[in-house]
Amino acid sequence: MDDNLVVQAENIKKSFGNNTVIKDISFNLKELENLSIMGRSGTGKSVLIKSLVGLIIPDSGTLNVLGENVLDMDDDEIDEVRRQVGYLFQGGALYDSMTVERNMKFPLRRHPNKPSESEIADLVDETLENVGLIESKSKYPSELSGGMKKRIALARTLIMRPKIMLYDEPTTGLDMITSGEISELILKMREEYDISSIIITHDVSCVELTSDRVIILAEGGILAEGSFDELKNHDDKKIRAYFTMADKKQKNEG
Ligand SMILES: Nc1ncnc2c1ncn2[C@@H]1O[C@H](COP(=O)(O)OP(=O)(O)OP(=O)(O)O)[C@@H](O)[C@H]1O
């Protein structure tokens, strides 16, 4: 595997019964790169990133993550990959019955190389400072806005110091200003923690702000790949449409 590639996926295929979701996809992620994956609903974006952490097993292909072949791993080895690959799920999923502080401490306390309680407390404070929410430490999720919950969910993932972050629709359901703040945070976290990221999103502004490279999925394969500007101004109007249609949708929602 190329030294600079943290993910290398070759000829991935995946069907669920008769439903062939991924016909043949190859892609890679470079160190410190932010890669956006766009595509209509149901094109297999989530399936693709779930396969990076062993939540879905492709039918065929090769899949290297951080230099290791994840399709040939036992449960312990996959757990080790999951510790290095943070996954921000669509729902964000905080524990409602726990304060922000306890939500943050929870994954660290379960870590096999568990830090001491005072180290955990320092890590929680430092990470909450970084996402701008230290003052919400004693609050419960129900007391937080959608944008704040996303930040806390992100902080809880970052506290594990992942090398790769997988963001599944990080700005969905947020207003345009809050979405912009989350996109800024994705950029800031790359600087702060040297993270390479894959961002699944329909949010054109998020793609524009965060991404070095964009892949558009359609019909089980890669329809287009390039920089934001290349794809937004592509000769093929079918490709341009991914940017203009979503723009209009956002304006209507905003
Ligand atoms: N565990 C599963 N079992 C069966 N089918 C599944 C499973 N996971 C995903 N699928 C199917 O795979 C297809 C792609 O789903 P996926 O969630 O990857 O879409 P997506 O591109 O992320 O869509 P969205 O933008 O709506 O989140 C869908 O038809 C879905 O029903």
* pLDDT at residue 1 in the model: 56
Domain with 207, as residue range(s), is 5-253
Count of structural domains, the chain: 1
* pLDDT at residue 3 in the model: 67
Query: Which has the higher per-residue pLDDT, 92 or 194?
Result: 194
Mean pLDDT, to the nearest integer, of 87-115?
82
| Average pLDDT, rounded, for the chain | 89
Residue 47 in contact with ligand 1 by CB distance below 6 A: yes
Q: What's the chain look like in SS3?
A: CCCCEEEEEEEEEEEECCEEEEEEEEEEEECCCEEEEEECCCCCHHHHHHHHCCCCCCCEEEEEECCEEHHHCCHHHHHHHHHHEEEECCCCCCCCCCCHHHHHHHHHHCCCCCCCHHHHHHHHHHHHHHCCCHHHCCCCHHHCCHHHHHHHHHHHHHCCCCCEEEEECCCCCCCHHHHHHHHHHHHHHHHHHCCEEEEECCCHHHHHHHCCEEEEEECCEEEEEECHHHHHCCCCHHHHHHHHHHHHHHHHHC
Convert the pLDDT of each residue in 124-169 to its tens digit.
999 998 888 899 999 999 998 888 888 888 888 888 889 999 999 9
* ipTM of the shown complex: 0.96
Quote the ligand 1 centre to 43 CA distance (angstroms): 7
Q: Can you give the CATH number for the domain in which 183 is found?
A: 3.40.50.300
Convert the pLDDT of each residue in 162-203 to its tens digit.
999 999 999 988 888 888 989 998 998 899 899 999 999 999
Nearest CA to ligand 1 atom 28: 42
Nearest CA to ligand 1 atom 8: 47
* pLDDT at residue 39 in the model: 95
Query: Which has the higher per-residue pLDDT, 59 or 82?
Result: 59
* pLDDT at residue 44 in the model: 94
Nearest CA to ligand 1 atom 4: 16
Mean pLDDT, to the nearest integer, of 34-56?
94
